[in-house]
Structures are given as C-alpha cells and as structure tokens.
Amino acid sequence: MMNMEEMILVDDFCTHHSISYTFISNLCDADLIEIAEVEERQYLQQDQMGTLERLVRLHTELDINTEGVAAIAHLLQRIETMQAEMKLLQQRLELYEDHVG
C-alpha cells in the first residue's frame, strides 16, 4: 500500500514548476518516472522527485524537448550503471592485487 504522505499530486507539481501535464505524462510513457492513480487522481512518489526535477530543469532551462530529455536521461542512467560496474571491478582488482602482491 502506498503511503499518501509520500505522494505529490501531479497537478500540484505541474503548477509549481509551470509545466504541462503532457510533459509529465510523456516522461511516464518513456518509463522515466511512475505515476500512481488513487481515486482518479494522479500522484508522483516523493522518492522520484530528484530525478523528476532534474528532467524538468533540462526541459525548461535548456529548452530541450521531451524526446531529448528522455534520451539524456537514458544516457545518464547508462553512465551511472557503468560507473557502478567500474567501481566493482576496481574493488575486485584491489582484492586481487592484495592477494598477489
């Protein structure tokens, strides 16, 4: 069950950031965010606010369209994944070097 205290109405978010619901809907369609529906109202989860606000800044401050924002978000996710893999490999290499050296 969702904790409603951790949910933000999509309409409130859009009003606060001066963006259209369509932009949020398109981000959801691109699997970049999730929208929950409770009693016929759409909500955003609090834990995705950092990501969502970064995407909104790309859209509003840099005037990047939704497709561009989606492409950038996917590239950033790939970079984060690769960085995590590199960190793991570095740790494994250090472990190996400790055993050999």
pLDDT digits (tens, 9 = 90+) for 35-72: 999 999 999 999 999 999 999 999 999 999 999 999 99
Residue 65 CA: distances (Å) to CA of 56, 57, 71, 72? 10, 11, 10, 11
pLDDT digits (tens, 9 = 90+) for 3-28: 777 899 999 999 999 999 999 999 99
CATH number at residue 51: 1.10.1660.10
Q: Give the domain range for residue 65.
A: 4-100
Q: What's the number of domains the chain is made of? A: 1
Cβ neighbours for 86, distance < 8 A, ≥ 6 positions apart: none
